[in-house]
Chain A
């Protein structure tokens, strides 16, 4: 119930509704009234409502930091 699932905005249908792609062939209509979102963007969906837009640049930044941990030679982190 409280699970947040990422989905891609496929087709905005009016002010509140949009078709969203949850992956694996699952498409569902969701409510987008709580966010400002464009087609093609990813959102976190909670109980049928998009609650946040995923920032892809931030996602890349996070990955960069993490990558440092898998490199055993690194001395950049302490």
Chain B
């Protein structure tokens, strides 16, 4: 396989910045919607390099754990407290729901397992036949096909799915519609795109006139994607280009999409920091009702909801955490008064500091001593 050397060749990055400096006079703001892009950008200091050329690259709602609402987490916590085994990805463990986190539930005796894959969760269900196992399934179009594939393949009777899956393109449209800031272009997530393909974003460029480039995750991938965005703007075009051709095909992964569409249906759902976004969430289709935790434990969840109504009023204490604003790109993590003071990865307040894909966690990890 091609060497990783060139993907990280600083001379190429400098070459791109120099060319951008010559091309540009004003200021441009690009947004990406992927935690892994943010990791690459901060880790390699690409944001600092690009700033010199007048380009700002900001993170949007690209962290699946972060965009999951406290209400969804509270359902998982409640099910755990009611004796179900909850299996979920590690980043979700410490994020607080309305009242508490899955970590809190485990501390008070509930069974919560951290898994790497839906397959691990199914294995837990096979091992604990007398217990109900719920897989709290989160993630964008990259993880939803895996969950769907497992369901299609048949799961144990004591296994169900609590789906908090979400779709990226509707959130991108929502960001533009909300109009809180100018976005001159999008850097689109490479791996989500490997599933949904180039065509899945075209309506966004057509409708809003915003350029988009699908990018890989090595530093030069991101730098070159920025260059491609600037070139589009210079040409006066707005279309979807693909920088990550080694992984993303125009049509995406048809097989994965078929599997995903066979099991899930799109529903309107709220994202943390966002109002309800139309057709941006995935829930199990009626055919798979038996595997759907929302249906299987409907009564329990209804009861929980009634108890919550009064509590949500008191949520103003959370108002100091500005995770929602970070997810919409309104502020950078360092602009939150809690960042690096009351809130750190060791004692996180909001999900953007808990998750390794969260912008606050990433900034803290790579530049904790500074307030860049």
Interface residues of A (CB under 8 A from B): 1-4, 6, 8, 16, 31, 33-36, 42, 44, 46-49, 51-52, 54-56, 58-63, 65-67, 69-72, 77
B6 and A67 contact, CB distance less than 8 A: yes
Q: Point out the residue from B91, B153, B246 that lies within 8 Å of A62, measured CB to CB.
A: B246
- B255 partner residues in chain A, CB cutoff 8 A: 34-36
A52 engages B247 (CB within 8 Å)? yes
Minimum C-beta distance from B293 to chain A (A): 18
Bound Cα distance from A47 to B194, whole angstroms = 15
| A46: B residues at CB distance < 8 A | 142-143, 146, 191
Given A51-B145, A61-B245, A66-B9, answer yes or no on A56-B120 (Cβ-Cβ < 8 Å): no
Q: B65 near A1 (CB under 8 angstroms)?
A: yes
Query: Known pairs A47-B117, A54-B246, A59-B246. 10 more at Cβ < 8 A?
Result: A2-B64, A3-B357, A4-B36, A33-B149, A35-B253, A46-B143, A48-B146, A52-B194, A54-B247, A66-B12
Whether B12 and A55, one on each chain, are in contact in the complex, defined by CB atoms closer than 8 angstroms, is no
Q: What's the minimum C-beta distance from B46 to chain A, rounded to whole angstroms?
A: 14
Minimum CB distance partner of A77 in chain B? B19
Name the residue on A nearest B194 (C-beta): A52
Q: Are B2 and A2 interface neighbours, CB within 8 A? A: no
CB–CB A51/B191 < 8 A: yes
Separation of A16 and B255 alpha carbons in the complex (Å): 13
B39: nearest chain-A partner, CB-CB: A3
A52 to chain B, nearest CB (A): 4
- Please, how many angstroms separate the alpha-carbon atoms of A63 and B218 in the complex? 12
Is B139 interfacial (CB-CB < 8 Å)?
Answer: yes
Partner of A34, one of B1, B139, B145, B248: B145
Closest residue on chain A to residue B90 by CB atoms: A1
Complexed CA–CA distance, A9 and B63 (Å): 28
* The residue from A34, A47, A70 contacting B9, defined by CB atoms under 8 A apart: A70
User: CB-defined interface of B11-48 with A at 8 Å, one 1/0 digit per residue?
Assistant: 11001100100000000000000111000000000000
